[in-house]
Structure 1
């Protein structure tokens, strides 16, 4: 029980409230105290009554906040908002930075809708209604691209690319995108305009459109809620996980839209990359096309991953750009994504040529060189920004006379071409880094059906 003691002062009577809590784990006694000053106008009897009420509330609050570890105690009375933030804090050092940021965004959005409910108040109906709202929800997308006036203003002010990059600390990737007429963030455009002493709208086209959230984005939000309530169930704060499929109806996943090149376009792309004068573009694009690795895996490659004698590449890490964090080097997407794959003689030849260029480039930069051992590098040998690979991809597509494609389309192209060539699905899945062959068959089911039809036709030709 809280102890209460009077303390007369020049400004009137105050009360000191002290609460002692015994840590059940260590047996240590922790003392918490606070001061209560009665509102003006209370009689002595009213003061005595009010201070007892205040002391009781203070004691209950302290008990609710204390555990053996010193962390807030969670209970069925805890709001979803508070519990979700506690859960997120606990997960921070256990998960990848990208996963943490995605969960943070999911919780921020979810708390606006169901954050005020206590855990004990959550029902399948409440969660289902929120999920249904998520499925219909739209977001405002701001598209910002530079006007010709941007270059004109840079020329007028004498603040060119190099000054913006090195003196004003603008990132090279976004700056290059802006000057190439590609989309950049509104915040970046605003800062750039302010640096050039001009209004944002005078230098950039700014349009706002609304669109539905992508299915995968919504799925990540739902998975986050399910994970949070799974923890609450483990702690016996709730009877069951009402965000699970046992209680919730989920919409059917829409068919995957696989962006890939057909044989003709793939040959054009290969030729354009192989003949491109910049060895960096050539090597990166052919590595992606001929191995099917992910963009982040390409950016994470090191020279020690290339076995020139045995013609293999080890994929052991991924370098990605994470919102609010920056560049993050992490393990590949899944444990199966760590793999060693065989590469063609052609790719070995290209990598050998690239190594010779790399050594010369490193010598040229002398003491400025950052010895990262990365295969594909930024300025002075440091990490390459993944967005740079997008720019290289766009350039090769333009050279090949193809419409602009995503870097990931090269992965899809590689896998679909293996399937079409009759490569066993186990081998395809292994080279792709898929944890299960079912992942490969689910994503590329249409192409497997085509291969199956082709096999049937070949059998008919044999026996016909």
Structure 2
């Protein structure tokens, strides 16, 4: 039953009644939940007895609404509730890397929204948040430290020509500084402390005016919308204010892909590279796999007779976990792909090399079921593939290479060759053709224009063929005056 308590002013007159409804205890912690609360104000001129009876009636109605789930209690702060939502989603199977990205964006919004009660958040608060996130002050890495000439003078006087020991058995790398690049202020501070000098004597602190990308700000909006959307579902707030906010538009960049002549240059340059990387890059191109999917490919998932590979896991990296095996991006990303014969010839050659290399390393080799492994076996860190491509492009003066560009390139080659969007979508492992269309819409239009031009050429060719057929040649059995001999 609801608890009703009178509130009086300084003169002792009842001016309102506080109504509270017990909510029970948290099933996880056993702590008593904050009760539902409401206030009923006594109208002017009402007597205390009449007001008491009406307050009791209002309490009954309020308790009924509470039991029916029609009352929102958004007194919990956004920060506390966001933590509950992320923990709940993690327990329900949310991918670990998704949680990591959510928490990175949560750190950006907590200074503004963290202490606010859920019920107090309005669309204008979110609009101000997005405006602040779009400014240079939102980036934590806009300050950089640049070495002064004094730093090199101190190092030379002390005979330090390599890395700087920090006094704790570790060494601080000076590679970036020696290349004339800047470092984080925290790194500069460590160097200054190791040398026992003030940081301002050795470094200039530079301020840049870079801003977060519109994509990052939009991801912050999606996080806020997810948290407040869950609060709306749990009837803690009457509506989700994120639906009425206006986040900045996300800048849609065209996918980076290579032209046919560039693909030829890349394939030619690969001929002089180690077999392992040649096979990896070739598979990226002909399969359209994501980076993690390629590195998660296992030997047992290759069907040599049918010429297919099975994509059903992906290699990921997180700071708190290191390299770990996960599932592909979506359930539709689990797929079987048919590859060209050349791909299997290259894979067979690579398999023989890997087996010989494994025997050569002996006990130093770490067993793993993956096709592409680290230097001494075991799973490969996904960043290792991107780092190798960067060095590869510089060695051969190639355009900028990244693993995902090969996925885009395969898509463009298939679309321009007339392959339908449904087949392309299945090969990419998209959950729907709409996803493929949203990403590659401009490529599809270019491909459609090219196919339309090709159709015009084909129709012109058909007309010319028909015209040549309609020209009747002289028959061998014609007479000199042009009349045919009668048929026998």
Query: What TM-score do the two structures reach when normalised by structure 1?
Result: 0.72
The corresponding residue for 1:268 is 265
**Deviation, structure 1 residue 406:** 2.1
**Deviation, structure 1 residue 117:** 1.6
Q: How does 1:328-343 map to 2 (within 5 A)?
A: 328-343=324-339
The corresponding residue for 2:484 is none
Structure 1 gap ranges (5+): 1-59, 161-166
> Secondary structure at the residue paired with 1:236?
coil
Q: How does 1:151-230 map to 2 (within 5 A)?
A: 186=184, 209-230=208-229
Please tell me whether residue 315 in structure 1 is matched to residue 311 in structure 2.
Answer: yes
Please tell me whether residue 69 in structure 1 is matched to residue 67 in structure 2.
Answer: no
C-alpha distance in 1 between matches for 2:459 and 2:327: 49
The corresponding residue for 2:231 is 232
C-alpha distance in 2 between matches for 1:228 and 1:135: 21
**Deviation, structure 1 residue 239:** 0.5
**Deviation, structure 1 residue 359:** 0.4
> Secondary structure at the residue paired with 2:139?
strand
Greater shift, 384-393 or 247-256, is seen at 247-256
Please tell me whether residue 412 in structure 1 is matched to residue 408 in structure 2.
Answer: yes
Greater shift, 454-463 or 235-244, is seen at 454-463
> Secondary structure at the residue paired with 1:91?
helix
**Deviation, structure 1 residue 113:** 0.7
**Deviation, structure 1 residue 248:** 2.2
C-alpha distance in 1 between matches for 2:311 and 2:401: 24
Change (3 A) 1:347 1:140: same
> Secondary structure at the residue paired with 1:213?
coil
Aligned equivalent of 1:372, options 368, 372, 381: 368
Aligned equivalent of 1:381, options 377, 396, 400: 377
Structure 2 gap ranges (5+): 1-19, 35-72, 164-168, 461-488
Change (3 A) 1:461 1:399: same
The corresponding residue for 1:78 is 76
The corresponding residue for 1:427 is 423
The corresponding residue for 1:52 is none
C-alpha distance in 1 between matches for 2:413 and 2:181: 32
Q: Report how many aligned residue pairs link the two structures.
A: 386
> Secondary structure at the residue paired with 1:379?
coil
> Secondary structure at the residue paired with 1:445?
helix
> Secondary structure at the residue paired with 1:77?
coil
2:105–2:223: 8 Å Cα contact kept in structure 1? Answer: yes
Greater shift, 178-187 or 261-270, is seen at 178-187
Change (3 A) 1:330 1:183: farther
Task: Flag the structure with larger Rg.
Answer: 2
2:74–2:236: 8 Å Cα contact kept in structure 1? Answer: yes
C-alpha distance in 1 between matches for 2:383 and 2:201: 26
CA RMSD of aligned residues (A): 3.8
> Secondary structure at the residue paired with 1:78?
coil
Change (3 A) 1:366 1:345: same
**Deviation, structure 1 residue 190:** 6.7
**Deviation, structure 1 residue 360:** 0.8
**Deviation, structure 1 residue 350:** 0.9
**Deviation, structure 1 residue 343:** 0.7
**Deviation, structure 1 residue 215:** 2.5
Output one character per residue of 1:306-358: Cα deviation in whole Å (capped at 9) or x when no partner: 22221111111111222443223211111111111111111111111110111
> Secondary structure at the residue paired with 2:253?
coil
1:140–1:210: 8 Å Cα contact kept in structure 2? Answer: no
C-alpha distance in 1 between matches for 2:147 and 2:300: 41
The corresponding residue for 2:354 is 358
Greater shift, 93-102 or 398-407, is seen at 398-407
Change (3 A) 1:241 1:425: same
Output one character per residue of 1:380-399: Cα deviation in whole Å (capped at 9) or x when no partner: 21111111101221233234
Change (3 A) 1:340 1:208: farther
The corresponding residue for 2:483 is none
Greater shift, 181-190 or 424-433, is seen at 181-190
**Deviation, structure 1 residue 198:** 10
The corresponding residue for 1:119 is 118
Change (3 A) 1:405 1:364: same
The corresponding residue for 1:256 is 253
Greater shift, 335-344 or 441-450, is seen at 441-450
Change (3 A) 1:444 1:180: farther
C-alpha distance in 2 between matches for 1:70 and 1:351: 54
2:366–2:377: 8 Å Cα contact kept in structure 1? Answer: yes
Change (3 A) 1:317 1:141: same
Greater shift, 197-206 or 397-406, is seen at 197-206
C-alpha distance in 2 between matches for 1:102 and 1:64: 34
Query: What TM-score do the two structures reach when normalised by structure 2?
Result: 0.69
**Deviation, structure 1 residue 86:** 2.1
1:274–1:286: 8 Å Cα contact kept in structure 2? Answer: no
Output one character per residue of 1:241-261: Cα deviation in whole Å (capped at 9) or x when no partner: 1112xx223443323232111
The corresponding residue for 1:105 is 104
1:429–1:436: 8 Å Cα contact kept in structure 2? Answer: yes
